Amino acid sequence: MEKLELKSLNTPDEERTFDKGKLELVKIGGAMVGRATFQPGWKWSESVKPLVNTKSCEAPHFQYHVSGTLRVLMDDGTQVDCRPGDVSLLPTGHDAWVIGDEPVVVVDFQGMVDYAREAGKK
């Protein structure tokens, strides 16, 4: 029988930091939900790529955009800007960066288990 669960991203189970950003994670219902905050100047290829050593972001994302503007460039050349209120589904193979001087905050329901985890660490 399933039971009621309640977690808060304000008191995460795990926190990861990286250049110009942080990720707060909670495990709930057998899934990992993450809130990522990216400061102005953050770019995946500069802030996270050195940690994970992949050509582009290999984490798929299903996320709700809380604040700021996040530009996403897929490996195939497709580009979108994600803004507050948007819900995006991003497959693997992309770069992303903050546009403007407002931090980007997203809540991600997929793909955060290994996000910004140093290569070779579990």
* Domain parsing of the chain, residue ranges: 14-108
Residue 62: the pLDDT is 96
The two three-digit tokens of residue 59, written as one number: 């984490």
User: For the chain, what is the largest distance between any 2 Cα atoms, rounded to a whole number of angstroms?
Assistant: 47
Per-residue pLDDT tens digits for 57-91: 999 999 999 999 999 999 999 999 999 999 999 99
Per-residue pLDDT tens digits for 26-54: 999 889 999 999 999 999 999 999 989 99
Per-residue pLDDT tens digits for 95-114: 999 999 999 999 999 878 88
Q: Which fold has domain 14-108?
A: Jelly Rolls (2.60.120)
Exposure string over 45-78, b if 16+ CB within 10 A, otherwise e: eebbbebbeeebbebebebbbbebbbbbbbeeee
Rounded to two decimals, the pTM is 0.92
